[in-house]
Amino acid sequence: MKNYKICVYAIAKNEEQFAEKWANSMKEADKIIVLDTGSTDKTVEILRQNGVEVIVKEIKPWRFDVARNESLNLIPEEYDICVCTDLDEKFEPGWKEKILKIWNDNVTRIKYTYNWSFDEYGNPATTFLANKIHKNKMYKWTHPVHEVLTPLGNEKEIICKDIVINHHPDHSKSRSNYLPLLELSIKEDDTDDRNMHYLGREYMYYQRWDDAINTLKRHLNLKTATWKDERCASMRFIARSYNAKKEKDTAKEWYQKAILEAPYLRESYVELAFMYYEEGNYKKAYDLLNEAFKIKEKSNFYINEEFAWNSFIYDLYSLCAFKLEKYEEACNSVKKALQMDKNNIRLQLNLEEMEKYIK
């Protein structure tokens, strides 16, 4: 087996709370390089104490792709495999051996398991495949935000789900620069379907409902917007925005469109079911949730959302079943919700109340 050399690279700014744990997680690599973009805390000091090569350089005006490319350019040519991570991410041990076991001269990129979020019990919640392990001198980063690796030639991507990265972000960190950078990205290229979707989603986060609706419709009208999972998500976000505007019938129409676009994804069924539940139409909600339960596999993409797979869906189903006097179904479903959310007092009380009806 050829002795491939691996270099981990990252960008950082004021990440002292993560620096030591991140460095320890990356120590299987042959080299670790960080581009610090202007930390004012002890990030640089901690990283260097843990054997990381740190170069300090501010990026003005700020763009994620420029920063990533600056960090990528720091990797010497003798390193074959590049691994891009952020400091709030950690590999599960044994990752280097798993990479070397499947890598060969023809491979240019690896997809691996990325646990983006966790529930309160430490179980993975949102999980998908990421692909930031790549061949040196074969890629560049593009887009001011939500940056992606763009190949410089023909690529061959392979999948290894046994390589796992866990993400534990600092939720207090501001993401205020995301919106202007997304707007800049679309200004630079208004045919980019991925970032058009992200921009619409960002407007939704900011509760700019009309901007979200108009931008997401622009996404759906792009010739390159052919990925059904992402189209379905745009339709759901349009529906959410109309729902927030109290345009309920229009919201329902868009949820139905989302279901037709990607009937293999749970999320649209569950969101529409919740709308009907809130209106008191428990039969409609019950039927939609039964359709959702027929979907057994969560997608491998970032599109999946926790509420369709955690205790929420079983909680909602139990409430609908109870209202429809299907008491055994209600009890069984709330028990499943409690298996996922053991300390939820409301669920415990619901179960006690529902069991009375069976007795």
pLDDT recorded at residue 302: 81
User: What residues does each domain of the chain span?
Assistant: 6-167, 178-309
Query: Which parts of the chain register pLDDT below 50?
Result: none
Q: Which alpha helices (H) appear in 106-177, and where do they start and end?
A: none
The two tokens of residue 119 are 């529930």
CATH placement of domain 6-167: 3.90.550.10
Query: Whole-angstrom Cα distance, residue 74 to residue 282?
Result: 59
The two tokens of residue 302 are 């970032």
pLDDT recorded at residue 267: 97
**Is the Cβ–Cβ distance between 88 and 15 less than 8 Å?**
yes
pLDDT recorded at residue 269: 98
The two tokens of residue 296 are 């057994």
pLDDT recorded at residue 50: 97
Cβ atoms within 10 A of the Cβ of 307, count? 16
pLDDT recorded at residue 5: 98
Q: Which residues pair with 134 in a beta bridge?
A: 82, 109
pLDDT recorded at residue 1: 55
Distances 335 to 126, 146, 239, 286, 357 between C-alpha atoms, Å: 22, 39, 31, 17, 15
pLDDT tens readout for residues 329-345:
999 999 999 999 999 99
Query: Whole-angstrom Cα distance, residue 193 to residue 141?
Result: 17
According to DSSP, residue 156 is labeled -
pLDDT tens readout for residues 148-186:
999 999 999 999 999 999 999 887 877 778 999 999 999
Say what the pTM is: 0.88
Does domain 178-309 fall into CATH 3.40.1010.10? no
**Is the Cβ–Cβ distance between 148 and 65 less than 8 Å?**
no
